[in-house]
A and B are shown apart, each in its own frame.
Chain A
Amino acid sequence: MTTNLIQLDDVSFNYEQSIALDHISLEVGEGEFWALIGPNGSGKSTLINIILGLLQPTSGSVKLFGSDIESFKHRERIGYVSQKSNSFNSGFPATVLEVVRSGLTRKVGMFKSFSKKDEQRTLEALSIVGMDSYAKRNMGELSGGQQQRVFIARALAGEPDLLIMDEPTVGIDQQNVASFYSMLNTLNREHGIAILLVTHEIDLVTDLATHVACLNRTIHFHGKQSDYKKMEDDDVSRWYGHPVRRVHQQTDEVER
């Protein structure tokens, strides 16, 4: 029996009196690519923060790699890219290499220094995102799209089994968004990394994802991408809260 990388059972979360998440249950398995979609204020980022342990659910349980989140020790198995990465301090004096290498901090362990092997691993992570030739460049000199690739490389440096991304394309121009998603596709298909991606870009992402979860305080749909595509636009519009017309841009459906 395979262990779910993420298992949410009946998770609810309240901000003071208002309900942000209402009885959410979701399972993310090995090698799956989940797109978590929903309108603004639907609780997507709250759910991600609960999965990452930054927020405690009001009720329900969260398991990561089969362990309760409180006792989960192997944080290096999870790579994280936040939407805040787009607004980092560009005046921070750090090279691309230094930033990506910081993704290995937990794996290397306290009181130890980075080794040559760690540097090699850092360069490999940069090469996956096509940024190895930028290793010695200052972070502030890069474009938004390049910076976001660096943050993904940082998340990949620890060789995670699961990549969690919270709207990573905010602030990136449309041309770079397409190549960014193509890179995610490669990470998932060729490197076998499971992905949980929070996004607004329904059409672009649902063509890449193997699974889709539709969230608006509660889960309205979760399942395979092919089943999501079979839903009527009217049904999607109903839970989304405003009219939605989906345009599927890719023809090769992902069935895994």
Chain B
Amino acid sequence: MINDILSYEFLQNAFLSGLIIGVIAPLLGLFIVVRRLSLIADALSHVALAGIAGSLYLSQQVLFFAALNPVYLGIASAVGGSLLIEKLRGAYRHYEELAIPVILSAGIGLGAIFISLSKGFGSDLIGYLFGSVSAVSRQDLFIVIVIAIIVITYIRFLYKELFALSFDAEYAKVSGINSRYIQMVFMIIVALVIGASMRIVGILLVSSLMTIPVAAAIQLAKSFKSAMIYSIIFGELAVIIGLVSAYYLDIAPGGTIVITSIVILLVVLAWKKMQGGRNARMVKGELV
């Protein structure tokens, strides 16, 4: 496997992209989960689908789009979707969550129209839907690196504000934190991470890599910092095991990555349950 990675550029691209995504997706996912916004990632990935399908369709019609990496239009539509969600949340103050299914449906609807209009881009589209080991280009890797730099810079410099906003949004507002601005940028960053991850994990499974490692991490973490570290470790484990098995089994990496992260979650839950039982018995004096 190591020899293959050293020999083939497409494997280098896939593994490097995967390792980077294994850090940034759960890192941002932690803020999404604790703010109970998990469905937003789902909605934005479906909007990205509309962009990808639109770009693939236009590439059959317009010469300019034939040369354009569909990831760009996927990212642009996810960013547009994130801004629309924010706008809609403002319009429905008492039903803020309504914005999510509206945008999600719009994404699927547009995606379905572009897919129906096109004259077959089956294998291309499957790669975008479920991820692909072989389809990650140097340009895709470059996009992932740029997005990772943006995400890490954002979290590094606004960590305090993001924590305050995640823990208690009302207190953050009262204490003078510019929550509206931070929230707006946060949504754009989520869209960028979805754009970066879709080549490897696939549009339909990208939100899983942002939430499942976090779901396992918060079972173990006592502090926010440790939740962050556990999320990244579980994300990396899922990506590495998922990519290696996808390569050997010749299947879509999105599926193997997500199933690996589900297995990690189940192991953590089982371990937590065993620990709980052990502690209860220690209290009763059955164990020394």
* Bind each other: yes
Given A98-B225, A138-B223, are A80 and B167 neighbors across the interface (CB < 8 Å)? no
Q: Does B241 contact A (CB under 8 A)?
A: no
Known: A53-B174, A54-B173, A93-B221. A102 touches B160 (CB 8 A): yes
A88-105 interface (Cβ within 8 A of B): 88-89, 91-95, 98-99, 102-103, 105
B223 to chain A, nearest CB (A): 4
| A91-B218, A94-B223, A102-B167 known; A52 vs B174 contact (CB < 8 Å) | yes
Is the C-beta of B171 less than 8 angstroms from some C-beta in chain A?
yes
Please report which residues of chain B, range 122-164, place their CB below 8 angstroms from some CB of chain A when the two chains form the complex. 157-161, 163-164
Interface size on A, as a range, is 35 or more
User: How far is B172's CA from A110's CA once the two chains are assembled, in angstroms?
Assistant: 13
Rounded to whole angstroms, the CA-CA distance of A80 and B176 in the bound complex is 12
- Contact B223–A75 (Cβ < 8 Å): no
User: Could you tell me the dominant secondary structure of chain B's interface residues?
Assistant: helix
Q: A181: which B residues are within 8 A, CB to CB?
A: none
For residue B226, CB closer than 8 A to chain A, the reply is yes
Question: Which residues of B (197-216) have their CB < 8 Å from a CB of A?
Answer: none
Q: Which of A45-98 contact B (CB under 8 A)?
A: 52-54, 73, 75-76, 78, 80, 82, 84-85, 88-89, 91-95, 98
The range of chain B's interface size is 20 to 34
- A204 at the A/B interface (Cβ < 8 Å)? no
Q: How far is the CB of A241 from chain B (nearest CB, A)?
A: 28
A105-B172, A111-B158 given as contacts; is B218 within 8 A of A93 (CB)?
yes
Contact among A95, A111, A113 for B222, CB-based, below 8 A: A95
Q: What B residues does A80 contact at CB under 8 A?
A: 171, 174-175
Q: Chain B residues near A53: list those with CB within 8 A.
A: 174
- Are B227 and A93 closer than 8 Å at their CB atoms? yes
The answer to whether the Cβ of B170 comes within 8 Å of any Cβ in the partner chain is yes
Query: A residues within 8 A CB of B222?
Result: 93, 95, 136-138
* Cα distance A105–B162 in the bound complex, in angstroms: 10
Complex Cα gap A126–B154 (Å)? 30
Given contacts A54-B173, A92-B34, A93-B226, contact A102 B221 (CB under 8 A): no
Partner of A114 from the list B160, B167, B223, B227 (CB cut-off 8 Å) is B160
Chain A CB within 8 A of B168 CB: yes
Residue of A nearest to B173 (CB): A54
Q: Is the CB of B158 within 8 A of A110?
A: yes
A89 to B158, CA, bound (A): 22
A170 contacts B by Cβ under 8 Å: no
Q: Does B177 contact A (CB under 8 A)?
A: yes
The residue from A73, A76, A82, A92 contacting B171, defined by CB atoms under 8 A apart: A82
Q: Which residues of A contact B168 (CB under 8 A)?
A: 85, 88, 102
4 nearest CB pairs, A to B: A75-B176, A93-B227, A93-B221, A95-B223
A-B contact pairs, 14 of them (CB 8 A): A54-B170, A54-B173, A73-B176, A93-B221, A94-B223, A95-B223, A98-B163, A102-B164, A105-B160, A105-B177, A106-B176, A110-B157, A113-B159, A138-B222
Using CB atoms and an 8 Å cutoff, list the residues of chain B in contact with chain A.
34, 157-161, 163-164, 166-168, 170-178, 217-218, 221-227
